[in-house]
């Protein structure tokens, strides 16, 4: 019987390094981060958000283990990114998003009234989930740098 292997995207919770790792369907529990060389329990992140998460952390907006690229195959979009703290008191969210604070963390959520079909198109508007991802990415590009990338 053949084992199915697929590649997953992870982030080191210490140095925020993003990497891919093959998996045979078994949870990847403890591995050595190739960047900081520490043994970690990696945080799984959606492939689509990997460049966004990387840029946020590089610019000093430290994310925590909560993000979702929005699973359009389920007929709705739950796109969100969670942060260690509120960095956004003087920064507006991108269009179609809002900030919410819960459990001493700030998260950026897509507006709840946006639902997408499996083709990525919205029932209620003319844009697609791909345009939303691009909108979020462009917003991150325009964010000011907070500090130098955190070292291990």
Q: How far apart are CA 119 and CA 96, in angstroms?
A: 19
Lowest mean pLDDT among 12-21, 38-47, 96-105, 121-130: 121-130
Give yes or no: residues 7 and 64 share one domain.
no
Give yes or no: residues 38 and 58 share one domain.
no
Q: Does residue 60 contact residue 147 with C-beta atoms inside 8 Å?
A: yes
Give yes or no: residues 28 and 92 share one domain.
no
Q: Which residues pair with 75 in a beta bridge?
A: none
In a domain, 98, yes or no: yes
75: confidence class by pLDDT, cuts 50, 70, 90: low
**Quick one: tokens of 16?**
């925020």
Give yes or no: residues 20 and 88 share one domain.
no
* Mean pLDDT computed over 20-28: 63
Give yes or no: residues 5 and 67 share one domain.
no
Give yes or no: residues 92 and 114 share one domain.
yes
Give yes or no: residues 69 and 16 share one domain.
no
Q: How far apart are CA 82 and CA 61, in angstroms?
A: 10
The count of structural domains within the chain is 2
Q: Does residue 110 contact residue 72 with C-beta atoms inside 8 Å?
A: no
Q: Which of 47, 43, 8, 40 is nearest to 24 (CA)?
A: 8
In a domain, 147, yes or no: no
pLDDT at 35: 92
pLDDT at 2: 43
Give yes or no: residues 37 and 54 share one domain.
no
Give yes or no: residues 134 and 80 share one domain.
yes
Residue-number span of the structural domain to which 88 is assigned: 46-142
- pLDDT above 70: percentage of residues in the chain: 70
Give yes or no: residues 35 and 76 share one domain.
no
In a domain, 152, yes or no: no
Give yes or no: residues 80 and 26 share one domain.
no
In a domain, 151, yes or no: no
pLDDT at 17: 87
**In 4-93, where do the E strands start and end?**
6-11, 18-23, 31-32, 39-40, 43-45, 63-68, 80-83
pLDDT at 92: 94
Higher-pLDDT residue of 71 and 42 is 42
* Segment 105-141, tens digit of pLDDT: 888 887 765 655 555 555 555 567 778 888 899 999 9
In a domain, 58, yes or no: yes
* Segment 45-71, tens digit of pLDDT: 888 888 999 999 889 998 887 777 776
Reported pTM: 0.76
Give yes or no: residues 64 and 120 share one domain.
yes
Q: Report the mean per-residue pLDDT for the chain.
A: 77
Query: Measured between alpha carbons, how far is residue 98 from residues 21, 54, 65, 84 in Å?
Result: 32, 20, 19, 17
């Amino acid at each position: 019987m053949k084992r199915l292997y697929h590649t997953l995207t992870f982030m080191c919770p210490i140095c925020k390094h993003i990497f891919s790792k093959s998996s045979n369907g078994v949870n990847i529990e403890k591995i050595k981060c190739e960047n900081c060389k520490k043994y970690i329990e990696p945080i799984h992140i959606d492939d689509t958000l990997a460049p966004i998460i990387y840029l946020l952390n590089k610019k000093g907006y430290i994310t925590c283990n909560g993000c979702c690229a929005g699973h359009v195959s389920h007929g709705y979009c739950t796109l969100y990114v969670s942060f260690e703290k509120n960095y956004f008191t003087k920064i507006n969210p991108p269009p179609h998003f809002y900030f919410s604070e819960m459990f001493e963390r700030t998260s950026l959520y897509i507006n709840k009234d946006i639902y997408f079909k499996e083709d990525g198109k919205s029932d209620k508007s003319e844009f697609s989930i791909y345009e939303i991802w691009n909108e979020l990415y462009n917003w991150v590009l325009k964010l000011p740098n907070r500090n130098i990338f955190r070292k291990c």
